[in-house]
C-alpha cells in the first residue's frame, strides 16, 4: 500500500494540496477524479517525487519519506523505483525505436541485462498487440499505439505501481478504446494502478477505489458503488458535467 499523510503542497503561497491523507491499496486500481486544476496531477506526481510537497509523509510497506526533510539520492532512487508514470502525451523518445524506448531505462537505470530486458520487452509488446512494431520509430505509429508502448515502457521497469495521468485524453475515441482495454486487462491481472481520468464510464468499470479531489482537498474516498450510486450533491453536479 502507498500512504500519504498530511501532505501540503504550495505554489507561490497558494495551497494546491491542503493537508491530504489517502491510501492507495496494492493489487487494486484507484481512480482519481476531479475538475481541472484541482490538484490531481500534483497528487500523482508527489508519489514518484516528480513533485516535492512542502510537508507530510509518503510511505510504502518497507520505506517511507518525510517530504519536509532532506532525502538521500539512494532513498529517492529506491522510492522512485516503486512507481512508473505514464503521461498524457506518452513522451516516447523520437530518436529511439520502439524496443529501445522500452529497454533503455531497465538497462541503464536498473542495470538489467540487455538480452533479458529485450525478451521481456517483446513479451510486453505482444501483450499489447504490437509485437511486429518493435523496430519502428514512434513517429510511424498512431497515438494509441504510442500510448500502448509507453505502458509497456512503464511495465518494463517492474514497478509496484503504475501511475497514469489522463492516459487517453490526447487520443481520438477509437484509439482511446485500445488503450482502455489494455488498462482493464492490467487491472484484472491485479496490477496496482493509480489512474487520473475524465472518462467516467472507464472509471466505473475499472476502479476498485475512487478518490475525488477538488481544490486541493479529498471530498470522497471510497468504493465506485458509493461514488456513482449514492453521490453527494457536489459529486452529482460533477458527474452531470456542471463542475
Which CB atom, from 125 or from 207, has the smaller least distance to Mg ion?
207
Residues 35-64 as x/- pattern, contact with Mg ion by CB under 5 A: ------x-----------------------
Q: Is 199 in the site for Mg ion (CB under 5 A)?
A: no
Please give the residue ranges that form the binding site for ligand ADP (CB under 6 A). 11, 16, 34, 36-42
Q: How far is the CB of 110 from ligand ADP (least distance, A)?
A: 28
Contact between 187 and 29 under an 8 Å Cβ cutoff? The reply is yes
Indicate the SS3 state at residue 6.
Answer: strand
Give the one entry of Mg ion, ligand ADP, none that residue 37 binds, where binding means its C-beta sits below a cut-off of 5 to 8 angstroms depending on kind.
ligand ADP
Instruction: Compare residues 144 and 216 and give the one whose CB is closer to ligand ADP.
Output: 216
Distance CA 51, CA 76 (A): 12
Give SS3 for 134: coil
CA distance 111 to 232: 49
Q: Which of 108, 49, 41, 101 is nearest to 77 (CA)?
A: 49
Distance CA 183, CA 206 (A): 8
Q: Which does 36 bind (CB under 5 to 8 A by kind): Mg ion, ligand ADP, none?
A: ligand ADP
Size of the site for Mg ion (CB under 5 A): 1
CB of 83 or CB of 112, closer to ligand ADP: 83
Q: Output b/e per residue, 47-66; b: 16+ Cβ within 10 A.
A: bbbebebebbbbbbeeeebe
Nine cell digits for residue 231: 453521490
| Closest residue to Mg ion: CB criterion | 41
Q: Which does 209 bind (CB under 5 to 8 A by kind): ligand ADP, Mg ion, none?
A: none
Q: Running DSSP on this structure, what letter comes out for residue 139?
A: G
Which residue number, 87 or 228, has a Cβ lying nearer to Mg ion? 87
Our CB check for Mg ion shows the closer of 41 and 146 to be 41
Amino acid at each position: 500500500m502507498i500512504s500519504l499523510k498530511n501532505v501540503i503542497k504550495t505554489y507561490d503561497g497558494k495551497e494546491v494540496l491542503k493537508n491530504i491523507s489517502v491510501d492507495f491499496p496494492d493489487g487494486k486500481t484507484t481512480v482519481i477524479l476531479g475538475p481541472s486544476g484541482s490538484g490531481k496531477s500534483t497528487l500523482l506526481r508527489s508519489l514518484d517525487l516528480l513533485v516535492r510537497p512542502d510537508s507530510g509523509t509518503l510511505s510504502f510497506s518497507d520505506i517511507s519519506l518525510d517530504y519536509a526533510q532532506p532525502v538521500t539520492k539512494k532513498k529517492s532512487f529506491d522510492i522512485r523505483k516503486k512507481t512508473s508514470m505514464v503521461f498524457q502525451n506518452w513522451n516516447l523518445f523520437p530518436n529511439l525505436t520502439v524496443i529501445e524506448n522500452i529497454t533503455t531505462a531497465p538497462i541503464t537505470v536498473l542495470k538489467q541485462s540487455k538480452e533479458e530486458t529485450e525478451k521481456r520487452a517483446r513479451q510486453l509488446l505482444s501483450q499489447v498487440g504490437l509485437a511486429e512494431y518493435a523496430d519502428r520509430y514512434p513517429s510511424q505509429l498512431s497515438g494509441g499505439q504510442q500510448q500502448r508502448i509507453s505502458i509497456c515502457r512503464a511495465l518494463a521497469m517492474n514497478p509496484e505501481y503504475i501511475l497514469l495521468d489522463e492516459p487517453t485524453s490526447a487520443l481520438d475515441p477509437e484509439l482511446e478504446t485500445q488503450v482502455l482495454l489494455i488498462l482493464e486487462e492490467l487491472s484484472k491481472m491485479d496490477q496496482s494502478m493509480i489512474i487520473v481520468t475524465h472518462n467516467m464510464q472507464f472509471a466505473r468499470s475499472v476502479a476498485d477505489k475512487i478518490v475525488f479531489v477538488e481544490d486541493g482537498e479529498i471530498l470522497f474516498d471510497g468504493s465506485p458503488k458509493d461514488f456513482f450510486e449514492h453521490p453527494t450533491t457536489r459529486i452529482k453536479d460533477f458527474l452531470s458535467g456542471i463542475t
